[in-house]
Amino acid sequence: MTYKKDENGDAIIFNEIKNAMRGIDLSFGEEYDKLTEMKKSLLNPLRDQYGEVDGEYLTESVRNIIFEINQKRRAIREKVLSNNKQLSQLYQKHS
């Protein structure tokens, strides 16, 4: 069995597999990271000893802020992924 090779003589299929197995390190930008940190800072005081958020102490106002943050993060993520179909497929597959 022979495989199509690239200019370096490496089998292309194995390079594609190797690259896919590395996982995805995707950045959605500085604004997305700021929103993520804001969400973490709101939720950290509500975490129990196991790191789970105790919903009993989650006030309605904090819940609304987190909902807004999630909406903004989703919009940023969708905008980035809509510009690149292949990136979108990889993100969906590995997230």
Number of H helices, E strands in the chain: 4, 0
Report yes or no: 5 and 11 within 8 Å, Cβ to Cβ: yes
* pTM greater than 0.75: no
pLDDT at 2: 62
Q: For residue 80, what pLDDT band results from cuts at 50, 70 and 90? A: confident
Residues 6-65: pLDDT tens digits?
Answer: 666 666 666 666 666 565 556 788 999 999 999 999 999 988 888 888 888 889 999 999
| Cα–Cα distances in angstroms (integers) from residue 20 to residues 9, 16, 70, 93, 95, in the given order | 20, 6, 28, 10, 13
pLDDT at 54: 84
User: Phi and psi for 94 in degrees, rounded to 5?
Assistant: -105, 5
State whether residue 53 is helix, strand or coil: strand
